[in-house]
Amino acid sequence: MAKLTELQQAAAAKIIERFPQVKAKEFRGDTTLTVAPEDLTAVMTFAKHTCGFDMLVCVSSVDHLGEEPRYETNYTITQAETGANLLVRCPVAGPAPAVPSMVPVWRSANWLEREQFDLMGIEFTGHPDLRRIMMWEGYPYNPLRKDFPVAGKEFEQAGMAFTEVAPTEGGPFTTRPGATAGSREPGPRA
């Protein structure tokens, strides 16, 4: 653990030496860098090519409703050989939050960014295929935002929402509640 912390701190120091506007924070052996959206691509490219963070593990986002900046995107990058991690957070302001896409740096960012776009409404500029990945096209809301009600919102779009029985109900691969795991397994119904 101490060796990983040292590796993370050394990489963070190298990044801050090159980009003095980047802020670093240590918490319980983890290093977090705070990067402005306009510096994100340069910092991430430097982290990959100069510091050896060759793997993008996760892209997530946070909604700080009532604060400014309201949103932030978070990236977990890893040195595959050593296991050292850095968390890179990028605060995003504005009613239409946008940050540069990391797909040109790491191809693995593709679907991860699409998920954040779909569920949180953060646009990733320069993304090669930025479209919804979970909700259907035309759905007007972002369900992971804090102002989205837990019970959901009523929304009808012709041909998109089912008002009758769902087409899989009673089908061959649906489950039913039961007392034992065996009776809850998907399978044909007798």
- Is the confidence at residue 165, as pLDDT, over 50? no
Note whether residue 189 is domain-resident.
no
Is 170 within a domain? Answer: no
Evaluate whether residue 62 is within a structural domain.
yes
pLDDT of 182 reads 53
* Burial bucket for residue 109 (CB in 10 Å: 0-12, 13-18, 19+): buried
**Locus of tokens 């960012």:** 109
The CATH number of the domain holding residue 26 is 3.30.460.80
pLDDT attached to residue 88: 97
What angle do the packed helices 2-18 and 40-49 form, to 10 degrees?
Answer: 130
Assigned domain for 51 exists: yes
Round to whole Å and give the CA distance between 101 and 24.
22
Q: Give the residue-averaged pLDDT of 117-134.
A: 94
- 81 domain residue, yes or no: yes
pLDDT recorded at residue 7: 87
What's the structural domain count of the chain?
1
In a domain, 117, yes or no: yes
Q: Is residue 132 part of a domain?
A: yes
Residue 158 pLDDT > 70: no
Which domain range does residue 28 map to? 2-12+19-144
Is 133's pLDDT higher than 80?
yes
Q: Taking all residues of the chain, what is their mean pLDDT, rounded to a whole number?
A: 84
Q: Which of the residue ranges 10-24, 70-84, 145-159 would you say has the lowest mean pLDDT?
A: 145-159
pLDDT tens for 6-23 read 888 899 999 999 999 999
Long-range (24+ apart) CB contacts under 8 A made by 63-72 are: 63/120, 63/144, 63/145, 63/146, 65/145, 65/146, 65/147, 68/93, 69/93, 69/94, 69/97, 70/97, 71/97, 71/120, 71/122
**What per-residue confidence (pLDDT) applies to 155?**
65
Residue 118 lies in a domain: yes
Please state which of the ranges 1-5, 32-36, 50-54, 116-120 shows the lowest mean pLDDT: 1-5
